[in-house]
């Protein structure tokens, strides 16, 4: 289904009035805290002490060009809706086409282009987000960032749209001004191995003091059986000016790129795999796998073995250059083939799969899990592994840290379940604190605010049950909100990038 390039302006016949009419948008100051007054009292105190701390955002997908150019945001729909797959995946699940939401097609065929129409359509279906973290985040953005004081409905949609658009036109709502307003101490982006990091150079050489760092993500050049692998390898050759004709040259180039990223401020690498298999190839096996890839003959099994070997190599290189290694396993990417073929990747169809860590990670952790210069931050989409595998692993290996609930579980109940199932075995100091992992720049404060509330509430329960005292809880709350992320990602070390 496609739509014409222009659609009539939104009018009452196209978008029926909401039954709710105009209702006030209020955010309760004690929202998300336990109803038990003993828990709530402590939670409120802990939250008030951590709410104003700077934000550490060590892993995410904000486009660095946003902060490099510091151009005004175009308008509310382009800023808040179309980049956020949390939003359009829910609308799509209820029968709204991607085209009607303005999601660009790969072949350039027409989609809805009227931003006000898209916003109105979103508002008409905003009830779908009740009880979800997306609804929590979006209400926070409306109320706290844009000063909206009425609920978003079909009736209020365009008034709210115009109010946000007016704010976005002011200097106070430029990207760098918001970065400073959000109290972001450091923001990490995610960048391909072949990226020139040009926006990071612009930020680094500017007079603005915001710290925005890249993250080295080599996934595209490790997936040797994928159709886009050769193009990814060519891009890597182009950016380095080197011909990659062998496995040894490939490893050399990757090590060179890692050093370049580190010089530009990177403190971490990132790796997404379906299964966290680690296995070092024997003898010339890795070279043979790479040779088959160069000849266009690599199979899915070849890729599985090569990725397992390369995770070992990435860990080895981390012991040499100090980059923290992040591993994001357990997502079957682009599950909906038709959506991928028409709209491309990252369109809300990445679906979790069951994941096994104990056996898969044993080779890597046996080799590097006690290395003093190695840190592995491990994420999961499989909650069944929290107490069974992840907490025991993190409770033993000095190099291992657990990332927080990721993606489908960075929610109110997901955060609670994580703390309850992990803390008794691993404590909190074997975790990283909260990581927002977002493309939606304006949602960063909302996500961190929710995490700080949920951690305060969890600790409030421990105090109410006399498992810890209030002084202990205050130290732990500060660590979860700020200290752990800063330390795990080595932002507490002197920044040595040259200008």
Q: What is the pTM of this model?
A: 0.93
Instruction: Give residue 83's pLDDT.
Output: 84
User: Tokens 């290189």 — which residue?
Assistant: 317
Distances (CA, A) of 96 to 125, 186, 344, 351: 10, 37, 18, 20
Q: Which residues pair with 328 in a beta bridge?
A: 272
Report the pLDDT value the prediction gives residue 22, as an integer from 0 to 100: 85
| Contacts of residue 147, Cβ cutoff 8 Å, sequence gap at least 6 | 163, 167
> How many CB atoms neighbour CB 75 within 10 A?
16
Domains along the sequence of the chain with CATH? 73-173 (1.10.2020.10), 175-488 (3.20.20.140)
Q: Report the C-alpha gap between 449 and 416 in whole angstroms.
A: 14
318, 325 contact by CB (below 8 A): yes
Per-residue pLDDT of the chain (499 residues; tens, 9 = 90+): 333 333 333 333 333 444 446 899 999 999 999 999 999 999 999 999 999 999 999 999 999 999 999 999 999 999 999 888 889 999 999 999 999 999 999 999 999 999 999 999 999 999 999 999 999 999 999 999 999 999 999 999 999 999 999 999 999 999 999 999 999 999 999 999 999 999 999 999 999 999 999 999 999 999 999 999 999 999 999 999 999 999 999 999 999 999 999 999 999 999 999 999 999 999 899 999 999 999 999 999 999 999 999 999 999 999 999 999 999 999 998 899 998 999 998 888 889 999 999 999 999 999 999 999 999 999 999 999 999 999 999 999 999 999 998 888 989 999 999 999 999 999 999 999 999 999 899 999 999 999 999 999 999 999 999 999 999 999 999 999 999 999 999 998 765 544 3
C-alpha–C-alpha distance, residues 286 and 307, integer Å? 10
**Residues 298, 288: Cα–Cα separation, whole Å:** 10
Residue 480 backbone phi and psi in degrees, to 5: -65, -35
| Neighbouring residues of 326: CB distance < 8 A, sequence distance ≥ 6 | 59, 215, 268, 269, 270, 271, 376, 377, 379, 403
Where helices occur in 125-174 by DSSP H, the ranges are 133-140, 157-168
Structure token digits, residue 158: 């365009």
Which pair of structure tokens corresponds to residue 440?
């939606």
Both tokens assigned to 497: 């990038």
Count of other CB atoms within 10 angstroms of residue 313: 17
Residue 105, both tokens: 């097609």
Q: What span, in angstroms and rounded, lies between the C-alpha atoms of 386 and 375? A: 19
Judge contact between 331 and 353, C-beta under 8 A: yes
Phi and psi angles of residue 6, each rounded to the nearest 5 degrees, phi first = -125, 145
Q: What are φ and ψ of residue 145, in 5° steps?
A: -90, -40
**Judging by DSSP bridges, how do beta strands 331-332 and 351-352 pair with one another?**
antiparallel
Nearest to 437 by CA among 308, 335, 353, 350: 350
Q: Which two tokens stand for residue 274?
A: 């379906």
pLDDT at 14: 38
Cα distances from 67 to residues 54, 84, 90, 208, 250, in angstroms, run 18, 18, 29, 10, 32
- What pLDDT, on the 0 to 100 scale, is given for residue 498? 40
**283 burial class (0-12, 13-18, 19+ CB within 10 angstroms)?**
exposed
Residues 32, 137: contact at Cβ < 8 Å? no
Output the CA–CA distances (angstroms, integers) from residue 409 to 211, 234, 403, 405, 415, in the order listed. Answer: 28, 37, 12, 5, 7
How close are the terminal C-alpha atoms of the chain, in Å? Answer: 50
Sheet containing strand 184-188, edge to edge, reads 55-57, 184-188, 212-213
**Tokens matching residue 99:** 């085209």
The answer to whether the beta carbons of residues 400 and 365 sit under 8 Å apart is yes
Return the SS3 of 159: helix
- Report the pLDDT value the prediction gives residue 357, as an integer from 0 to 100: 98
Report the alpha-carbon distance of residue 271 to residue 325 in Å, rounded.
8
């Amino acid at each position: 289904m496609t739509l014409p390039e222009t659609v009539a302006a939104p009018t009452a016949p196209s978008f029926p009035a909401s039954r709710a009419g105009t209702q006030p948008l209020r955010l309760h100051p004690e929202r998300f805290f336990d109803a038990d007054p003993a828990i709530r009292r402590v939670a409120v105190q802990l939250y008030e002490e951590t709410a104003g701390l700077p934000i550490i955002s060590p892993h995410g997908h904000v486009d660095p060009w946003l902060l490099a150019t510091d151009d005004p945001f175009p308008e509310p729909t382009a800023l808040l809706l179309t980049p956020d797959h949390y939003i359009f995946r829910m609308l799509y699940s209820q029968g709204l086409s991607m085209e009607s939401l303005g999601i660009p097609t790969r072949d350039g065929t027409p989609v809805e282009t009227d931003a006000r129409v898209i916003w109105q359509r979103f508002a008409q279906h905003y009830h779908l987000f009740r009880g979800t973290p997306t609804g929590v985040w979006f209400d926070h953005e409306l109320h706290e960032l844009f000063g909206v004081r009425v609920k978003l409905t079909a009736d209020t949609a365009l008034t709210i749209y115009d109010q946000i658009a007016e704010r976005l036109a002011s200097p106070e709502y430029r990207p760098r001004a918001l970065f400073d307003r959000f109290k972001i101490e450091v923001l990490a982006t995610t960048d391909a191995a072949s990226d020139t990091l040009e926006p990071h150079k612009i930020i680094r050489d500017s007079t603005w003091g915001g710290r925005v760092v890249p993250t080295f993500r080599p996934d595209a050049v490790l997936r040797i059986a994928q159709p886009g692998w050769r193009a990814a390898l060519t891009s890597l050759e182009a950016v380095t000016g080197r011909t990659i004709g062998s496995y040894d040259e490939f490893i050399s180039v990757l090590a060179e790129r890692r050093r370049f990223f580190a010089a530009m401020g990177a403190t971490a690498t990132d790796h997404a795999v379906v299964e966290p298999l680690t296995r070092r190839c024997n003898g010339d096996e890795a070279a043979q796998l790479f040779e088959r890839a160069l000849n266009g003959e690599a199979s899915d099994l070849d890729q599985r073995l090569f990725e397992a070997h390369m995770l070992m190599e990435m860990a080895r290189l981390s012991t040499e250059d100090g980059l923290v290694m992040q591993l994001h396993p357990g997502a079957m990417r682009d599950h909906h083939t038709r959506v991928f073929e028409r709209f491309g990747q990252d369109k809300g169809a990445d679906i979790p799969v069951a994941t096994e860590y104990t056996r898969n990670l044993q080779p890597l952790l046996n080799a590097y899990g006690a290395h003093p210069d190695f840190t592995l931050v491990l994420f999961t989409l499989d909650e069944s592994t929290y107490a069974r595998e992840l907490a025991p692993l993190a409770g033993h290996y000095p190099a291992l840290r657990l990332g927080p609930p990721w993606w489908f579980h960075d929610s109110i109940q997901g955060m609670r379940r994580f703390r309850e199932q992990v803390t008794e075995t691993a404590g909190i100091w074997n975790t990283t604190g909260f990581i927002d992992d977002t493309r939606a720049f304006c949602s960063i404060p909302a996500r961190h605010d929710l995490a700080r509330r949920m951690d305060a509430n969890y600790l409030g329960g421990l105090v109410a049950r006399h498992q810890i005292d209030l002084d202990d809880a205050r130290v732990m709350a500060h660590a979860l909100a700020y200290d752990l992320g800063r330390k795990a990602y080595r932002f507490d070390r002197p920044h040595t990038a040259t200008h």
